Amino acid sequence: MSYSPSTSIVVENATKSFTLRYHRTFKQVSVAKLRGQQVSDTFKALDDVSFTVEQGESIGLMGLNGSGKSTLLKLVNGIMKPDSGRVLTRGRIAGLIATGAGFHPQLTGRENVYLNAAVFGMSERETNRKLDEIIDFANIGKHLDSPVGNYSSGMFARLGFAVAINVDCDIFLADEALAVGDKPFKRKCMEKMEEVRDSGVTVFYVSHAAGSVRRMCNRVLVLEEGRLGFDGDVDEGIKYVKYDSDDEDKDDDELGADI
């Protein structure tokens, strides 16, 4: 199957399964087997999911907890591979699946900027060029030169977001990373993400917040128990998920979204 040069992401019949183990030790497993009890179970986190994304689209990925959103994002990011089917992407990917996942607790914030940037594929020259923007965006002051193991979760998230959002990329992934931090910082994150989106970068945004999805996205995908239940208009997608308006307002306020 061929795709146009403007195709950014291809997910084709992707299936990913995981095994749940009910016992931790060999002794527990042995006892459970002797008693005829089930020791493990396999479930499909994603089940035959297919869609394509064109360069510059801004996709809101929605669904109830456990529907497979984070698994799908990890497949797109290349952290995981599907058990069957395929996932293809074009260009450099930056993202906030696990903010600051590449940080080393014993290194300073400044040292971790270079380490995390390298994880995203940035050269030392690129990082040097972006360093002032990263430091200014994170706004953690004197803590920049102290070990990140001493950081609060908010400071950790600030620095991780500051690195990821300043990567020159073709695809940007965000998995509700804005849920950490104070409201002014969340608002600044949303504004920066809009700037990235408007520059022509493909955005894949996982969120429960209807208001921020409306603000950020021009298309919605909804997962239901690992299957793609909806693919289309933003407002129709939000209705499909059937979020109560009270919950929407609460989530939107938490993410600092402007409805």
Instruction: Read off the pLDDT of residues 143-159 as tens digits, 9 standing for 90 and up.
Output: 999 999 998 878 888 88
CA proximity to 223, closest of 71, 74, 86, 42: 71
Q: At what angle do helices 153-165 and 109-119 cross, to 10 degrees?
A: 50
Helices (H), the chain: 26-34, 69-77, 109-119, 124-138, 153-165, 183-198, 210-216, 234-241, 245-254
Mean pLDDT of 204-228: 93
Candidates 42, 114, 46, 116; CA nearest to 74 is 46
Residue 22 maps to a domain = no
State the average pLDDT over residues 224-236. Answer: 95
Strand partners, 173: 95, 204
Helices (H) and strands (E) in the chain, counts: 9, 9
Q: How many CA atoms lie within 13 A of 23 on its CB side?
A: 13
Name residue 50's amino acid. Answer: S
Q: Two tokens at 172? A: 């940007």
Question: Any residues with CB less than 8 A from the CB of 132 and at least 6 apart, and which?
Answer: none
> Does 23 fall in a domain?
no
Instruction: Tell me, yes or no, whether 13 lies in a domain.
Output: no
| pLDDT (0 to 100) of residue 239 | 93
Number of structural domains, the chain? 1
Q: Within a domain: residue 175?
A: yes
| DSSP for 89-115, written as a single string | E-S-EEEESSTTTT--TTSBHHHHHHH
Please state which of the ranges 39-43, 149-153, 233-237, 255-259 shows the lowest mean pLDDT: 255-259
Say which residues have a Cβ less than 8 Å from residue 150's Cβ, sequence separation at least 6: 143
* Residue 51, SS3 per DSSP: strand
Domain range enclosing 66? 55-254
Residue at 97 is within a domain:
yes
Residue 38 lies in a domain: no
Among 85, 88, 87, 89, which residue's Cα sits nearest to residue 15?
85
The identity of residue 243, as a single letter, is: Y
- Say if 18 falls within a structural domain: no
Average pLDDT over residues 7-20: 92
DSSP H or E segment with residue 221: strand 219-224
Phi, psi of 219 (to 5 degrees): -160, 145
pLDDT category of residue 5 using cuts at 50, 70 and 90: confident
CATH, residue 59: 3.40.50.300
- Pairwise CA distance, residues 110 & 241, whole Å: 41
- In sequence order, the β-bridge partners of residue 18 are 43
pLDDT digits (tens, 9 = 90+) for 38-97: 655 677 899 999 999 999 999 999 999 889 998 999 999 988 999 999 999 999 998 876
Element (H, E) at 230: strand 227-232
